[in-house]
Amino acid sequence: MKLFLRKNIFYFFVFLVLVFSFLIRVVKLSYWPIFADEAIYIRWAQVMRSEVNLRFLPLSDGKQPLFMWLVIPFLKIFQDPLFAGRLLSVISGTASVLVVFLIALFLFKEKKVALFASLIASILPFFVFFDRKALVDSLLLFFGLCLFLFSFLAFSRKRFDFVLLAGFSLGGALLTKSPALFFSLLLPTFLLFFDFKKSKKLSFRQVFLALFYLSVIYAVGYLFYNILRLGPNFHLLASRNMDYVFPFLHVFQNPLDPFLSHIKDIFIWFFYFGILFILPLFLLGFCFGLKKYRKEVLVLFFWFLFPLLVQAEYARVFTARYILFTIPFFLIISSLSLRFANRYKFIFFPFFGLFIVFSLFQNFRFIFNPNKSFLPRNERSGYLEEWSAGTGIREVSVYLVDFYRKEKREILVGTEGYFGTLPDGLQVYLNDYPQIKVAGMGINFNNVPEGLVTSAGSGTPTFFVVNSSRAKIEDLKNLELLAEYPKAKKKDGSFEKLLFYRVKSN
């Protein structure tokens, strides 16, 4: 028994890290208000679940549908649609921690280093924050890590089964989000791990085998991707992508704009999400890792840096979650610093201690006190302060459901917008009540929409939901304020509110 425990105590610690990773991501999962993109994705999943012919609905907005397909089973299990959507990201994030462990273990063959890598990944605020959102980025990260792991095993061990698994992973990534293109571009780096020599000479048979492996991964991955051609709007993937990136020639026309500002943004995100605190550990791991693990460290570094620089140069829209899939490779290099902890304890322990303290502080806020979360300006405004934050939407939906159960008649709810936080966020919670009709009415309002006044005049219970920044209505005679839901305070102390009105007839 003692021998058994001695041999398995390490894997028990790995299990504890995974349990901790899951818990820190799942506790109070629905506490944050629904975010604009979350509302869109979950609403798509609900529609796709009910209408088989609309299983490729996200293509209408140039988005891949795999995340929404995978949300559908969770919607069947859990009553809260926001929890169901976010749980997929929680599972993806926890699985990513496990794959980080496996990558470090197979690359460096050191159990303690691998456990250290998984521990950092489990607690890093960057991961914890986005793994608690119903966004596609955590799923993309998981597939990217699987592709890295299986590709390494395929080329280093010359195993065709791992080639197929790598192809499946690439396919999953391509069906999740367009930045999976980076994974395709980076795949040839694994040729470094392939032994091309037979005796002391280069073997052309080995060269052919390596290229065959690479071709199979691409073929399987893009075979999966071409499933999207079954959808009617496949062509929109390419056209909508151009709304988010500059043309290729941009680098020759104006290379420093927006490159410099985006690099600045990256360092800001690195600070707020805890990565900057482990930068000294990364430098230790990189510099000393080059001596023993040159190929491994260089490939990891390239998988981290290349997408980062390309996005900084070409991205029209740039937010923190767009670089999420690059961060694990930074962490895995950083984990090598554990090998030099005793020799450079004056560097390792202070910065690792700061990282742990800061991460616990951030994660505690993320879980228990969202409005006090210490976030970059753009992230905080988007998730907590502005129109894109769905504060109050759940409460409005509860009121409307209770009203319908009492009145037992059709209800009309007008909202601001046509797409996004409103009306999609409200429809997410009212999906099981088709008698409650939700209709987008526009963006900015100087008057009560005429259609709502007419509806109220006909005897239909009519409501209006709008953000205070978009409601400049002076004549309120047709409106009865039922509730207002303040959002998080802005830097200047002001705050926006979600206003919930009952519309009265003239």
Residue type, 223: L
Mean pLDDT of the chain: 94
Instruction: Indicate the pTM of the whole model.
Output: 0.96
Q: 261 and 211 share a domain?
A: yes
Count how many domains the chain has. Answer: 2
383 belongs to a structural domain: no
307 belongs to a structural domain: yes
Q: Which pLDDT belongs to residue 7? A: 66
pLDDT digits (tens, 9 = 90+) for 122-158: 999 999 999 999 999 999 999 999 999 999 999 999 9
Angle at 316 between CA 312 and CA 317, to 5 degrees: 90
Look at residues 339, 372, 405 and tell me which one is the last residue of a structural domain: 372
Q: 416 and 361 share a domain?
A: no
Q: 450 and 338 share a domain?
A: no
Q: 266 and 365 share a domain?
A: yes
Residue 1 has pLDDT above 60, yes or no: no
377 belongs to a structural domain: no
With tokens 């990891």, the residue in question is: 300
Look at residues 342, 372, 402 and tell me which one is the last residue of a structural domain: 372
Q: 68 and 102 share a domain?
A: yes
Look at residues 315, 342, 372 and tell me which one is the last residue of a structural domain: 372
379 belongs to a structural domain: no
Residue 2 has pLDDT above 80, yes or no: no
Q: 207 and 79 share a domain?
A: yes
Domain range for 426 is: 393-503
Residues with Cβ within 8 Å of residue 24, at least 6 apart in sequence? 122, 123, 128, 363, 367
Cβ 429 vs Cβ 397: under 8 Å: yes
Q: 353 and 492 share a domain?
A: no
pLDDT digits (tens, 9 = 90+) for 6-43: 668 888 999 999 999 999 999 999 999 999 999 999 99
Say whether 345 sits in a helix, a strand or coil. Answer: helix
The DSSP result for 89-157, as a single string, is: HHHHHHHHHHHHHHHHHHHH--HHHHHHHHHHHHH-HHHHHHTTSS-THHHHHHHHHHHHHHHHHHHHH
185 belongs to a structural domain: yes
What's 427's domain CATH number?
Answer: 3.40.190
Mean pLDDT, residues 288-304 taken together: 95
Burial call 458-485: b when 16+ CB within 10 Å, e when fewer: eebbbbbbbbbebbebeeeebbeeeeeb
Band of residue 330 on the pLDDT scale cut at 50, 70, 90: very high
Q: 126 and 9 share a domain?
A: yes
The H or E element containing residue 270 is: helix 259-272
pLDDT digits (tens, 9 = 90+) for 385-444: 999 999 999 999 999 999 999 999 999 999 999 999 999 999 999 999 999 999 999 998
- Alpha-carbon distances of 202 from 192, 198, 206, 213, 277, rounded to whole Å: 14, 6, 8, 18, 44
215 belongs to a structural domain: yes
Give phi and psi for 500, each to the nearest 5: -120, 115
85 belongs to a structural domain: yes
